[in-house]
Amino acid sequence: MTTPLTLDERERIVDSALKIQSVRNSLDTVPSAKIPAMREMLACLKSVDRSLREALGYVRGLKPGPTKSERRLT
């Protein structure tokens, strides 16, 4: 069993997840033909986003609900 995240760790993960989402949204506006390996990059960003959400408990129902600062992720 893993040790629960501290509040500071949760805040850093939330911040990172928001940055990943921002990058994904920015790339949505660029034609994929203009960026080499765009598909692979988007897949990687999606995987990172999912892993961060899992760490926060958003995946597989590990957490009853987001804290106030985490609600920005949805």
| Residue pointed to by tokens 């501290």 | 6
| Residue pointed to by tokens 């893993």 | 2
pLDDT digits (tens, 9 = 90+) for 12-51: 999 999 999 999 999 999 999 999 999 999 999 999 999 9
CA 20 → CA 3, 4, 37, distances in Å?
25, 23, 17
In degrees and rounded to multiples of 5, residue 41 shows phi and psi of -65, -45
pTM of the model: 0.70
Q: Which letter does DSSP use for residue 31 in this model?
A: -
How many residues are listed for the chain in this entry?
A: 74
